Amino acid sequence: MFALSRRGLRLRFFSTSMRLHIFHRTRYEYENHARESFNEARLRPVTDNNQTCLNHVIVTMPSAVVHNYLDLHNNDVQYFEIPEPHNELVVDSISEVVTHPRAAPPEEPGQFTTAQLASAINDYNCYDMIESSEYVAVEPEFWRVAVDVCQGQNDVWICALKLMKHIHRNFVYDQGATDVYTRMPEAMAKRRGVCQDFAHILIGLCRCLKIPARYVSGYIYSNTAHDNLLGSQATHAWAEVLLPGWGWVGLDPTNNQAVNDHYVKVAVGRDYADVPPLKGTYLGPPSRKLEVAVSVTCIKEDATGGAV
């Protein structure tokens, strides 16, 4: 459906809201006893205009008391400590989220010009999102790629869409090509990777054009009978770009689309280093076995219609 926004622009709305159940299990198995384990989790879905987290719980084995704080990017961080010896650590995150219909920005040249970015960057205080970071490199060679793809376009949203489509068209989704530690330059050279790599590449190319871009971790629901989206039933990653007068908008280069009500946002940051689902330290054997299982299921889907 279509409706007029406050800016008088024609907006496209996605047609459903969904109630999603998310189960995320992380299991570490140690060769010998581990102890003094301290962990941080960024697993609680956010509540904002696009989604509502109805409930969320973290359960650990061995059992631990879970505390929380907000980090510098306003992510909810849950932390816990297990001092006693243990051979395995299991962390279960269980969430229920309602995603809401949302508007997609108009693909009309001149709506979000690069000349408007300076005030937007100042308003959102997002200077970290236009510079290099641990996983993302803002370098002349990548600037050249971004400039060539955008071909003189000065609309921020259209530039971001062009860059997303370029990545989707020219890079291969390959789960064996990279790992969680792969940086943007390596993924660019290989021209293959997974959602984390594609998000980093899109972020880097946007930043080369001084378009603020940030990393988003979360989940995606895919109805395999209709959607067949890459990255479902696992943690997923995409990028958000800042549009002047509009705010942050998500783009998923893995699936070549704007983020819609199939997506659940958990945390944002400069890159993956700011938002790993679970990280920590412990005393014990250096090697350990990691298993991760994610399930995203739709409890209820409501059709919406009419004009706003």
Q: Rounded to whole angstroms, how far apart are CA atoms 30 and 35?
A: 10
pLDDT digits (tens, 9 = 90+) for 258-270: 999 999 999 999 9
Place of tokens 């199939």: 262
Confidence band for 114, pLDDT divided at 50, 70 and 90: confident
Mean pLDDT of the chain: 90
> Under a CB-based contact definition with an 8 Å cutoff, are residues 136 and 92 in contact?
no
pLDDT at residue 3, rounded to an integer: 36
pLDDT digits (tens, 9 = 90+) for 215-272: 999 999 987 656 778 888 789 999 999 999 999 999 999 999 999 999 999 999 999 9
pLDDT at residue 104, rounded to an integer: 83
Work out the number of other CB atoms within 10 angstroms of the CB of residue 285.
12
Percent of the chain with pLDDT strictly greater than 90? 80
pLDDT digits (tens, 9 = 90+) for 150-203: 998 999 999 999 999 999 999 999 999 999 999 999 999 999 999 999 999 999
SS3 track for 66-118: CEEEECCCCCEEEEEEECCCEEEEEEEEEEEEEECCCEECCCCCCCCEHHHHH
Q: Rounded to whole angstroms, how far apart are CA atoms 71 and 77?
A: 7
Confidence band for 17, pLDDT divided at 50, 70 and 90: confident
250 against 306, higher pLDDT: 250
Q: Rounded to whole angstroms, how far apart are CA atoms 80 and 38?
A: 6
Which structural domains are found in the chain, ordered by start? 2-99+277-303 (2.60.40.2250), 106-274 (3.10.620.30)
pLDDT at residue 29, rounded to an integer: 96
